[in-house]
Amino acid sequence: MIILWIDPWTTTTGFALIKKESWNFTLLDYGIFKTTPKIDLAIKLLEIWNDIKEIISSFKPDVVVIEKLFFQTNLKTGIDVAQARWVVMYESIRADTKILEYTPLQVKKAITWNGQANKLQLQNAIKMIFKLDEIPKPDDAADAIGLAYMGALNNRLT
């Protein structure tokens, strides 16, 4: 089973791919997609869609995991991110891929056993789980690995 996690933002979109075989997890790939700076949101959404379409087509994930949207202060940013999430959800559904959603708190609890863990604690836990030589960078990619791992831990997928 292949689990793809996407962290859709309008400038940088993090992704991670994990292969799950029984209770063995292999990190296949992770990184970020960047959109062209200072262009209209509609064009950014098209760039995100093309990236998502490419990665889903290439890896054919069984599950796509998306972070639940949460924002407190900037309504415009929240609306823009919601539109980017819609692009990911649309392409996932179009590819007949199951979608799971988790909050950052759920991911932190599952990986570090501490819902209040900071980014560095989460990154170090991911480094240990996947036996990486260094902490995954950038932060968006590390978050992506955490969410993909959270999706892989879901016992409803087996």
Give the catalytic positions in this structure. 7, 67, 140
Residue 154 has φ and ψ, to the nearest 5°, of -65, 115
Q: Are 101 and 68 in contact (CB under 8 A)?
A: yes
Query: What are the angstrom distances between the C-alpha of 128 and each of 3, 77, 104, 112, 123?
Result: 19, 33, 19, 11, 9
**Token digits of residue 17:** 């791919």
Cα angle 61, 41, 9; round to 5: 45
Give residue 98's region: left, alpha or beta (phi > 0; psi -120 to 50): beta
